[in-house]
A and B are shown apart, each in its own frame.
Chain A
């Protein structure tokens, strides 16, 4: 591995697979611990990664998660095939959610996910196309 090349990880996420939901974020967290990133930074990465992972499980059919860990930052990109988000501004509002009662019974779907991701990240971008899917980019400085 070159000094500036970073460590790359890829995960495939399956919509509605609640058994494995969070497994990718768990692996990311362990690797960050192994490479010696500070615990408060790992916590922010783990929380935003988990929220984004749960969004795919809850709302989409399929997703790809790509993680690059550099000495000074972690970048995560999640692209999903799913219904997409018609109004991103609305989706970013705390409390707004389209999740079903079943999801709410699991403790999610309170409309806190996207705002929470944005709060944890140093850079956050979201683009979406209705009927195709959503792409999220997150960057957290170490």
Chain B
């Protein structure tokens, strides 16, 4: 699925990266624990989170994530948006809470990082 399709499913607003919405999203992950994101996600994963700090952007950068969706209408501050812009990481905001947002993406066909096509590969 492309990021623009996820945006429609979540009725999300783009905070940064309107030009990056044709990025492919293979899996998604809902987490507020960045350590879990670093440990268990695959590249090109879309992260749904309730955290809006700089560490979320750094985590996405290190893990090669496809983008970040902030749930329950949470908005990152300007320095957070700037760091995402510097790294080309799309940021979206949805008013859906975490559980519903994950459910909408799952119903739309996006799978989790533990699914067969989303297994964390160790090389």
A residues near B (Cβ < 8 Å) are 18-19, 21-22, 25-26, 29, 39-41, 43-44, 46-47, 49-51, 54, 106-113, 115-116, 119
B38 contacts A by Cβ under 8 Å = yes
Contacts of B56 in A (CB 8 A): 107
Contacts of A39 in B (CB 8 A): 43, 64
Check A106/B51 contact, CB under 8 A, given A26-B58, A43-B64: yes
A119 and B122 contact, CB distance less than 8 A: yes
CA–CA, A105 and B56, complex, Å: 11
A51 and B35 contact, CB distance less than 8 A: yes
B54 and A18 contact, CB distance less than 8 A: yes
Bin chain B's interface residue count: 20 to 34
B53 and A106 contact, CB distance less than 8 A: yes
The 17 sampled A-B contact pairs (Cβ below 8 Å) are A22-B54, A22-B58, A26-B87, A29-B61, A47-B62, A50-B38, A50-B58, A51-B35, A51-B38, A107-B35, A107-B37, A107-B49, A107-B53, A107-B55, A107-B56, A108-B35, A115-B39
CB distance from A58 to the nearest CB of B (A): 10
A21 and B43 contact, CB distance less than 8 A: no
B107 contacts A by Cβ under 8 Å = no
Check A50/B59 contact, CB under 8 A, given A43-B64, A106-B34: yes
Q: Chain A: which residue is nearest B58 at the CB level?
A: A22
A107 and B43 contact, CB distance less than 8 A: no
The 4 closest A-B pairs by CB, nearest first: A22-B58, A107-B34, A112-B35, A46-B62
B5 contacts A by Cβ under 8 Å = no
A26 and B35 contact, CB distance less than 8 A: no
Binary CB contact string for chain B from 44 to 82 against chain A (1 if under 8 A, 0 otherwise) = 000001010111101101111000000000000000000
Contacts of A106 in B (CB 8 A): 34, 51, 53, 55
Contacts of A21 in B (CB 8 A): 54-55, 58
B55 and A18 contact, CB distance less than 8 A: yes
Across the interface, B51 reaches (CB within 8 A) one of A26, A40, A49, A107, namely: A107
Within 8 A of A (CB), among B71-119: 87
A22-B54, A44-B123 given. 10 additional CB < 8 A pairs? A19-B54, A40-B43, A43-B62, A51-B35, A51-B38, A106-B51, A106-B53, A107-B56, A110-B35, A111-B35
Contacts of B43 in A (CB 8 A): 39-40, 43
B33 contacts A by Cβ under 8 Å = yes
